[in-house]
Amino acid sequence: MRLWIIGLALSLSFPAVAAGQGATTTSPVELAQRAETLRPGQWVWAPAIAPSGPVLVYVDLSRQVATIYRNGVRIGVTTISSGKEGHETPTGVFTILQKDRNHHSSTYDNAPMPYQERLTWDGVALHAGGLPGYPESHGCVHLPMEFARLLFATTHMGGTVVMAGEAGKPVLAHGGEVFAGAADQTALRQGEDFRWTPEASPTGPISIIISRPSQRILVLRNGVEIGRARAVIDSAGDFATHVLTLAADAHGPRRWVFVDVPGHADEQGLPLDASVASRIAMPEVFRRQVEAALEPGASILVTSAPLDSGGSGHRMTLIDAIGAHQ
């Protein structure tokens, strides 16, 4: 009887803990103001600011905040709870592999994980969960219940999720410290300038990773590497992380726009300047092949994290979607 009462109490308290306090708005100014003062469990949602277009989720583990962009415009911000010590949430670029409105954990005693959006096959996901104001999960990113529901209805399979930072610590300028996780894949052979194998994953959103120290460009689709190339990347002393998304424009050409990663809030919504793009040189054939494959929703991650740790112990997760389907 006692166990039944405890179980009932937990099941009744879970929605209250996860629901949080939210606000909806149609004003970009109000969204920005509320986003700066969110307390644990709170969120703000303004989908009318950008009613259509590709969606990108940016999770800042250092601030325990997630920001949602649609067509390159910020439409939502929420507090989160990420992985606790020993179960840290991995960082890098991920793709939404599976969506399950009423998911239950197969690892943790059938625990409810409402509005689950799976990012890795070994158990990392976005879903509604506890929000105590600090990292407490086993690696997943907990969201307020109502925000998780709104996000679930907004994202699509194959959508991009970028996770950066380190829980409990400020984001460091050196990308090798910002990203930790899975290893690099097969390197280019000597004399091989690029590799392009789109047949490895024929359709889906593309993510491009540009690594300054490695002087490499990687292209992934649905978590599968479809290309990589040697590059000459003029960083000009820039060690920051930058994230861009390819936005659709009904009144003009597609355009790359910045999202406001930590330390670069002034970049949010700005188009990619042609002079910046010109600082990255790559094989012309490779460039044309990548451009032909791009669709709105594609993302670029520019980082000072090496693709190979070089013995430093720091490596970055490119897209952790490879493995057995469980």
CATH code for the domain in which residue 157 is found: 2.40.440.10
Q: For residue 169, which of 69, 62, 91 has the smallest C-alpha distance?
A: 62
Confidence of residue 116 (pLDDT cuts 50, 70, 90): very high
Q: Under DSSP, is residue 204 helix (H, G, I), strand (E, B) or coil?
A: coil
Report field, pTM of the whole predicted structure over 0.95? no
Note whether residue 130 is domain-resident: yes
Report pLDDT digits (tens) over 289-326.
999 998 888 888 887 777 654 433 333 444 333 332 22
Q: Which two tokens stand for residue 223?
A: 């978590």
Amino acid at 3: L
More confident residue, 106 or 63: 63
Note whether residue 97 is domain-resident: yes
Same domain, yes or no: 276 and 152: no
Q: For residue 114, which of 133, 142, 79 has the smallest C-alpha distance?
A: 142
> What residue ranges in the chain does DSSP mark as E strands?
21-24, 42-45, 55-60, 65-70, 73-79, 92-95, 98-104, 112-118, 125-128, 141-143, 160-164, 194-196, 206-211, 216-221, 224-230, 232-233, 242-247, 255-259, 280-281, 299-303
Report pLDDT digits (tens) over 272-283.
656 566 778 999
Confidence of residue 95 (pLDDT cuts 50, 70, 90): confident
Report pLDDT digits (tens) over 35-93.
889 999 999 999 999 898 888 899 989 899 999 988 878 899 999 999 999 889 988 77
How many separate domains does the chain show?
2
Q: How many CB atoms lie within 10 A of CB 255?
A: 16
Q: Under DSSP, is residue 257 helix (H, G, I), strand (E, B) or coil?
A: strand
Q: Which residues contact 265 (CB under 8 A, 6 or more apart)?
A: none
More confident residue, 22 or 154: 154
Q: What is the pLDDT of residue 87?
A: 87
Residues spanned by the domain of 190: 184-303
More confident residue, 253 or 56: 56
Same domain, yes or no: 143 and 8: yes
